[in-house]
Amino acid sequence: MGGAGMNTDSWSDLLADLLPGLALSLQLTAAMLAMGLPLGLLMAVGLSQKRKYVSVPTLALVEIGRGIPALVLLYMIYFGLPQAGMSLDAFLSAAVGLAISFASYTSEVFRAGLAAVPHGQREAGHALGLPRTVIFLRVLLPQALKIIVPPLLGWAIIYFQATSLAFALAVPELMSRAYVLATTNFQYLNMLALAAGLYAAISIPLSLLSEHMNRRGSRTATS
Amino acid sequence: MNVAMQQSTSPPTAAAESRYAAEAQNVTVEFHGHKAVDNVSLGIAKGEVCAIIGPSGSGKSTLLRTFNHLQEPTSGQILINGRPTVPGSRKPKPADLMQLRRTVGMCFQSFNLFPHLTALENIMLAQTKALGRSKDEARERGRHLLERVGLEAKANARPSQCSGGQQQRIAIARALALDPEIMLFDEPTSALDPELGAEVLAVMRELADSGMTMLVVTHEMNFAEDVAEHLVFMADGVIVEQGDPSSVLRSPQQERTQKFLRAVNGR
């Protein structure tokens, strides 16, 4: 494939060449979410602690995560960490770096969602003698998720697109694959347009879903 | 200032002989230097229904909330069955609080049912997670309690599908599911129209008849007179007057009580 018969390659052949890249991008997104979502929630809990020795360091972490460009984070983990005696492979470095960035941004979404649950809910939980963890997991979080999920989906879409930064660590994800193939068949415009189309094919339906959920959420947000 | 107090006659160590199911001793609650509750002592006998009335900002809800430590007293202490709720140290441990709240149930003005759970699930949650009952046992108990408050048909309804009166009755059932010895009610009918309020009061009346010890902050003067055995009038963070409900309501001794009751009855 590729090389020789480049001008005769059909769109579907080019697309087939890109699909493994898309699969890797989706895997990278999944790995990033698997780490980033719990971390974001954890940061939100840390941010809303009254105890300063918890909330202040968490805030510092969040600000660092948001203040540093994601690409710099990826480089620091992939090229920097080995100097500190810890090396991760390219895929994992990208997933971890993106997860830190994602968590830093979404911690505020989690925090706001949890804060939007009426105070009486927490009080009722306490008045029933429920342990704190049960109040959090069974009373507050389910109610907060209704508020949190639509904006979280929006962030997930942005970070799905941001997986293209893993290109810089030579992870053969969608963007990387499109570029590498283009360097062999010289169809830069076609390859990049196809990659863009694939990113959009995933992103646009999801952002429509997010908007739909948002509208439905605001209509039923009564109790 | 006449702070009618029922002075504790027994030392806190005489737990077994305490004639009070619940007692506040010299409780003060301060918010930013303002004393919402100012050195109040109040005893509620076993099986007694005690109603607290008074104007907004009188500290009656704040006092009520100290009985299950939803509000931490700034000073003074709460005794349940003669035992201090916070043994020794000033800062209560979560385990102590959880234990206390299984003994002292509470209903709120705004019901505070969990909106993402059905009526039955609302009643089951604390049974399984706080008492460690099995799901089957909790469900059985939940159905029985829903029947008791006349809402067995609403077992699988969400709170949003129930009227305010129904929600408050579910909230009462939810609190009763833990088999509390004392029930606190914080203006349970204030968010309800008179008709819906009446069905909640009927459930509370039945509960009182069954011998439950109850502390009720309310604006329902008829309920206070008919059901309560002990009426407390609070204003500006202190107990101004207390005693037999009929005598306090019909021949109040204090000027502040007279003024409040004139305003209530004048409506």
ipTM: 0.89
> C-alpha distances in angstroms, B180 versus A25, B18, B153?
55, 18, 25
Q: What number is the average pLDDT over the span A126-137? A: 95
pLDDT above 80 (res A5): no
Confidence class for position A7, pLDDT limits 50, 70, 90: low
- Tell me the three state secondary structure of residue B179: coil
Percent of chain A past pLDDT 70, that is, above it, reads 93
Question: What local confidence, expressed as pLDDT, does residue B84 receive?
Answer: 87
In chain A, the residue whose alpha carbon lies closest to the alpha carbon of B159 is: A223
A148-207 pLDDT tens trace:
999 999 999 999 999 999 999 999 999 999 999 999 988 899 899 999 999 999 999 999
Strand partners, A162: none
The pair of structure tokens assigned to A62 is 């969040």
pLDDT digits (tens, 9 = 90+) for B105-137: 999 999 999 999 999 999 999 999 999 999 999
Q: Which residues of A29-42 are buried (b: 16+ CB within 10 A; e: fewer)?
A: bebbbebbbebbbe
pLDDT at B19: 82
Question: Is the CB of residue B44 less than 8 Å from the CB of residue B213?
Answer: yes
Q: Does CATH place domain B20-265 in 1.10.10.10?
A: no
Distance from CA of B85 to the nearest CA of A (A): 14
- The residue type of A112 is A
Are B25 and B77 a contacting pair, CB within 8 Å?
Answer: yes
Q: Where are the domains of chain B?
A: 20-265
For residues B68 and B21, the answer to whether their CB atoms sit within 8 Å is: no
- Cα–Cα dist B240/B227, whole Å: 21
Do A164 and A174 meet the contact criterion of CB atoms below 8 Å apart?
Answer: yes
What pLDDT score does A14 carry?
85
Q: Which percentage of chain B shows pLDDT scores above 70?
A: 92
Give backbone dihedrals phi and psi of A208, rounded to 5 degrees, phi first.
-65, -40
Check A139 against B160: CB less than 8 A apart.
no
Beta strands at B230-235 and B49-53: parallel, antiparallel or unpaired:
parallel
Q: Does pLDDT of B4 surpass 90?
A: no
Tens digit of each residue's pLDDT (9 = 90 or more) over A70-116: 999 999 999 999 998 888 999 999 999 999 999 999 999 999 999 99
% of residues, chain B, pLDDT over 90: 83
Residue-by-residue DSSP string for B79-128: EETTEESS-SSSS--HHHHHHHHHHEEEE-TT----TTS-HHHHHHHHHH
**Domain annotation for chain A: domains and CATH numbers:** 6-218 (1.10.3720.10)
List residues of chain B with CB under 8 Å from any CB of chain A: 68, 70, 94, 97-102, 105-106, 108, 110, 112-116, 125-126, 129-130, 159-160, 174-175, 178
pLDDT at B8: 42
What's the distance, CA A198 to chain centroid? Answer: 18
Q: What is the pLDDT of residue B94?
A: 87
pLDDT one-digit tens code per residue, B36-90: 999 999 999 999 999 999 999 999 999 999 999 999 999 999 999 988 888 766 6
> Using the beta-carbon criterion (under 8 Å), do A120 and B68 form an inter-chain contact?
no
pLDDT reported for residue A4: 46
Query: A127 vs B98: CB contact, 8 Å cut-off?
Result: no
Instruction: Give me the residue from B98, B99, B116 closest to A143, CB to CB.
Output: B116
